[in-house]
Chains A and B, each alone.
Chain A
Amino acid sequence: MLKGKKVQTVALILSMVVGMVIAACLAPAAAPASTTAEEPAAPVAQTDAKSTLDIVKERGKIICVGNAVLPGFGFLDEAGVFTGFDVDYCKALAAAIFGDATKAEIRATTASERFTVLQSGEADVLIRNTTDTMSRETDLGMNFAPTTFYDGQGIMVHKDSSIVTLQDLNGASICVQTGTTTELNLADQMAAAGVSYEPVVFETADEVTTAYEEGRCDAWTTDKSGLVSRQTVMADPSAHEIMNVTLSKEPLGPAVRHGDDQWYDLVTWVVYATFTAEEMGITSANVDTFMDTEDPNIMKLLGLEGEFCSKVGLANDCFVQVIKQVGNYGEIYNKNLGPDTVFNLPRGLNSLYTEGGLLYAPPIR
């Protein structure tokens, strides 16, 4: 009996050793932490030979993390088609990479899943009304491309509640969605204003608005564009109003993983191209008429002079495809959020710098 025990112990130890050996053999080339710490990222690129662009090209389509429940930005309609402002930016990337805007796939997530889905490589880019913050860039390992939509956090209340200022909300219940910057801003602003409130936190936007509409909460908060958007799908949109209070800055834009600079450049400059196109008055309708232009700036944008697109690994007419198939910034905005839509959001900060807004693209040269 004793002997059996001994044999078992020896066997166990032996098998552990074997296990460790196997683990060591299987382990990816990563050396112990102490040695890699001194080496720069260069060997990483070698072991990790495939860049995001290669993976996307090989797959034949780009996968964007998106929203399915925010009309105007990302919404899955009755026909099973994604539409919206963020969706159009995903299409713009597809147009730039493949010359075909239909090669974009939206991977709809909740607010809390979105970063993990991008981090794990399940998607290539995150375009889901996501606020650029310092901690998201540093702690979460994100790189944010230029802001595509300057937003601010607002609060919606029932029209008959006679709430006007933050102080009026003292003692109120406020519904909020988890995994958003709005949750933090609310806490900060209410603490600063010395107002006590009861936060009621839900996982999805649908649950938040249901709770609010049923009167569980006196108010609910998210980005102002989100409030406007969700108001249109409420049972009685006229029974609610958005307070004239802005809690925070919410610059929304596409984000990519740390570690692939070429991919980051690509996303960044596709966004800039939509700004530049609007600035130069180039739209999807008239882009073909510019093909014989003599203006060097326009020639550079349209790939008629220089090799700008090819520097991020694309065909030289990549921006032409973006403009032709999706449009310039103004077109994308108006199509999804502009005066002809139910939202009718004024451009405000989201105008070109020449018109008093914040959209300012560095030159292509």
Chain B
Amino acid sequence: MQKIAASQATPPFYRDERVLGVISQIVVVGLVVGLLGYFYNNMISALREQLGVAIDYGFLRSTAGFDIGEGLIEYSRASTYLQALVVGLLNTFQVAVLGIFFATLLGVLIGVMRLSTNFLVNRIAAVYIDIFRNIPLLLLLIFWAQAVFFKLPRVQEAIIFPGPTFLSNRGMAIPWGVPTESWPTYRIVLIVGLILAYVVARLLKEQGKRTGRMPLLTLWFLVTFVGVAIVGWFALPQPLTLTTPELVGFNTQGGRVFSQQFMALVSGLIIYTAAFIAETVRAGIQSVSKGQREAATALGLTPFQTLRLIIFPQALRVIIPPLTSQYLNLTKNSSLAIAVGYPDLFAVGSTTLNQTGRAIEVFSLIMGVYLFFSLTTSFFMNIYNQRIKLVER
């Protein structure tokens, strides 16, 4: 049988499936590369011949000439386009980090509520998810900006909470520490405290393993860290001084201001993404087999202990991959900031684009940055995923 097949099965190459397979792949890849090359050539020649311009990133070093409302680094109209884009990048980063943190908290809370046996709690979560998951994000952002934050009192009649914290349609101004000369030293003290706390917790854990009585690790960690922080605070001449906001002229001065645009953007993103995270969490928890919960109850664990020690660690394995997608979505969705007037990377980028006309250069930079953000996020989430993955024996 084998022999006959072999002797008969030396067909000409154009009928050999393996050869045909290779050839078809060559053709497909060739066509794709060719098409991309064609588009690229077309773009370059159109730019050069019709408009007389070539791709050139040199404009990044020229003076930007426009102001940016808020940023984490020093910037003025005399700075370069590159610095302007960095301001935008850091703003995007800030929104993404805060957004991811709070969306996770809110999402997990709503997700757990969704599975509550209490009718009211359960329904509240369900209504929340159904409403916010089904409204386009842009609408939600504009709703927050124009229907909520714009409708707060004007800054002259701001709501003043003790502290003082000013809440108006310009944003929220809160008291804030301003670094003094000893701040850089104090920062090192804090880092040392963190390391020390980690070491202490680690040692206690080892001891706990030997003696079989596990101490409260988190508590010891915090006690060590806060202890070091307090000692350092008094040892150094006051690393931070407190400034409080006050109303001067048109706006509040002093303290830290979270602008109305920032709050509208972050709250919109959090509320929207939390609805998706809640569903992910619910699905993760439901994927843990019922027997696990029953076994935990049989062992006498309280419902909270069951959730924390039995259900959640197993649910995480299902939750993490889709959660990563939600984190990526949040970061990318933050580019809608321009709709509420927040100067994120995309907003600053489009101003730059307008003033320079360098559409391809600016967009390639912006796309590169978002790609970098996304790949970095998924890189770390993948590492985490590896760690919590079921170790199969």
A141 / chain B contacts, CB cutoff of 8 Å: 50-53, 357
Contact present for B260 and A216 (CB under 8 Å) = yes
Contact present for B347 and A28 (CB under 8 Å) = no
In this complex, what residue of B is CB-closest to A214?
Answer: B150
Q: Report how far A37 CA is from B25 CA in the complex, Å.
A: 38
A116 / chain B contacts, CB cutoff of 8 Å: 359
Q: Report how far A32 CA is from B290 CA in the complex, Å.
A: 68
Q: Report how far A22 CA is from B197 CA in the complex, Å.
A: 63
- A19 interface residue (CB < 8 Å to B): yes
Q: Report how far A207 CA is from B261 CA in the complex, Å.
A: 12
Residue from B34, B77, B154, B248 in contact with A18 in the complex, judged by beta carbons closer than 8 Å: B34
How many whole Å from B37's CB to the nearest CB in chain A?
3
Q: Report how far A340 CA is from B105 CA in the complex, Å.
A: 60
Q: Evaluate whether A173 and B52 lie within 8 angstroms (CB atoms) in the complex, with A139-B356, A139-B357, A191-B77 already known.
A: no
In this complex, what residue of A is CB-closest to B261?
Answer: A200
B41 / chain A contacts, CB cutoff of 8 Å: 23, 26-28, 30
- B253 interface residue (CB < 8 Å to A): yes
- A210 interface residue (CB < 8 Å to B): yes
Q: Report how far A63 CA is from B216 CA in the complex, Å.
A: 73
B59 / chain A contacts, CB cutoff of 8 Å: 139
Q: Report how far A111 CA is from B38 CA in the complex, Å.
A: 31
Contact present for A139 and B53 (CB under 8 Å) = yes
Residue from A22, A119, A190 in contact with B30 in the complex, judged by beta carbons closer than 8 Å: A22
- B185 interface residue (CB < 8 Å to A): no
Contact present for A48 and B45 (CB under 8 Å) = no
Q: How many residues of A contact B (CB 8 A)?
A: 68
Contact present for B50 and A259 (CB under 8 Å) = yes
Residue from A11, A21, A200, A202 in contact with B25 in the complex, judged by beta carbons closer than 8 Å: A11
- B374 interface residue (CB < 8 Å to A): no
Contact present for B51 and A173 (CB under 8 Å) = no
Residue from B28, B36, B44, B77 in contact with A187 in the complex, judged by beta carbons closer than 8 Å: B77
Chain B interface: which of A176-184, A228-236, A237-245, A357-365?
Answer: A176-184
B70 / chain A contacts, CB cutoff of 8 Å: 198
In this complex, what residue of A is CB-closest to B42?
Answer: A28
Contact present for B170 and A173 (CB under 8 Å) = yes
- B98 interface residue (CB < 8 Å to A): no
Residue from B31, B339, B356 in contact with A22 in the complex, judged by beta carbons closer than 8 Å: B31
Contact present for B37 and A23 (CB under 8 Å) = yes
Chain A interface: which of B2-10, B60-68, B271-279, B304-312?
Answer: B60-68
How many whole Å from B116's CB to the nearest CB in chain A?
39
Contact present for B37 and A19 (CB under 8 Å) = yes
How many whole Å from B223's CB to the nearest CB in chain A?
43
In this complex, what residue of B is CB-closest to A141?
Answer: B51
Residue from B77, B169, B347 in contact with A216 in the complex, judged by beta carbons closer than 8 Å: B169
Q: Which 5 residue pairs across A and B have the least CB separation, nearest first?
A: A19-B33, A23-B37, A22-B34, A18-B30, A141-B51
